[in-house]
Amino acid sequence: MSDAMAIVSNASEEEFELRRGPWTPEEDTLLIHYIARHGEGKWNLLAKFAGLKRTGKSCRLRWLNYLKPDIKRGNLTPQEQLLILDLHSKWGNRWSKIAQQLPGRTDNEIKNYWRTRVQKQARQLKVESNSQTFLETIRCFWMPRLIEQMEQTSSTSTSTTSQSSSSTPSTMETQNPAISSLLHNQTSMNLDSVTNKPYEKPNSVTSSTIFSDSMRIPELPEILEHPTSSTHAFSSHLSDCYYDMEGFNLGPMSEVGPSEFSLSAGQMEGSDWTSDDVAGTVWNMEEFWHFRKPEELSI
């Protein structure tokens, strides 16, 4: 018998028993019951003694990402989305670290959210998801919109005591210290100026009033004066900006306003930013253009 055949023979006795692919309800039950009796950890032994034909890794993943009792399922709330955007700007793809700030959410879920929702927007805008262009998009439009949604939620849920709703986070927000902290850094923000009205001059709405410390944007260099095309203007401006990709930190940038933030119609074409799904895209095209001063639309 050749060595190769011997290997196959040995493997057939043990490894070929290993199951892969989706978990069955029976496997889930086995895992849940075993952990209920013996606790987590020692995953390889656990898999063996629980009678699961799975690797320890697979068991661990199944438990942590799906079966654990405190796992929160369903769409991410605007608060959670906002926190993810904020934390990602701080820490980059440190999914597990980000997940620690969102109780009940797994790193896998957050990672999937980023890849399917956030990066989708970048693709549709034809920009890199890690580019400064896209980061500005997030800061200028996505995050204010999320905050607006949170405010609306807050207003609705506290309609009987709506007087303070415009500046006070709802109980939903305050349940999570990280979200609460993020929001408190933003309570001075003038929501109307970034959500419901044409964009004010940059001087009137500073980035520091909108975003937490982690996202605060230093003073900006002069912006392009007379862009011949918005796309060109944007890319030219961006090329002057420093961006520290390694840590996903924001380098020197301007207070972001429409004069330096311009996307061409072509870039927006095909985008589904018109969707107003809370769990997905959070503003639509009309709103997008409404942010901008009329004179800036004459491209």
Q: Which 65-84 residues touch DNA, going by CB under 7 A?
A: 65-66, 73, 75
Kindly indicate which of the ranges 3-11, 59-67, 80-88, 179-187 contains the residues binding DNA, using the contact rule CB under 7 A.
59-67
Using rule CB under 7 A, residue 10 touches DNA: no
Q: What is the DSSP string of 95-136?
A: HHHHHHTSTT--HHHHHHHIIIIIHHHHHHTTS-TTSHHHHH
Of 22 and 69, which has the nearer Cβ to DNA?
A: 22
Q: How many angstroms separate the most distant Cα atoms in the chain?
A: 83
Residue 185 is encoded by which pair of tokens?
A: 């850094």
- For residues 131 and 122, what is the distance between their CA atoms, to the nearest angstrom? 9
Kindly indicate which of the ranges 58-66, 81-89, 164-172, 254-262 contains the residues binding DNA, using the contact rule CB under 7 A.
58-66
CB of 83 vs DNA, minimal distance in Å: 16
Using rule CB under 7 A, residue 93 touches DNA: yes
Using rule CB under 7 A, residue 113 touches DNA: yes
- For residues 203 and 219, what is the distance between their CA atoms, to the nearest angstrom? 11
Cβ neighbours of residue 21 closer than 8 Å, sequence gap 6 or more = none
- For residues 123 and 134, what is the distance between their CA atoms, to the nearest angstrom? 10
Using rule CB under 7 A, residue 232 touches DNA: no
Using rule CB under 7 A, residue 90 touches DNA: no
Using rule CB under 7 A, residue 175 touches DNA: no
Of 245 and 299, which has the nearer Cβ to DNA?
A: 245
Using rule CB under 7 A, residue 22 touches DNA: yes
- For residues 201 and 295, what is the distance between their CA atoms, to the nearest angstrom? 12
Among the listed residues 30, 31, 50, 62, the single contact to DNA using CB under 7 A: 62
Closest CA relative to residue 246, chosen from 115, 98, 93: 93
Using rule CB under 7 A, residue 283 touches DNA: no
Using rule CB under 7 A, residue 226 touches DNA: no
CA distances from 157 to 79, 173, 188, 286, 291 (A): 14, 12, 21, 27, 27
Using rule CB under 7 A, residue 247 touches DNA: no
Binding footprint of DNA on the chain (CB under 7 A): 19-23, 41-45, 54-58, 60-62, 65-66, 73, 75, 93-97, 107-109, 111-113, 115-117, 120, 272, 280
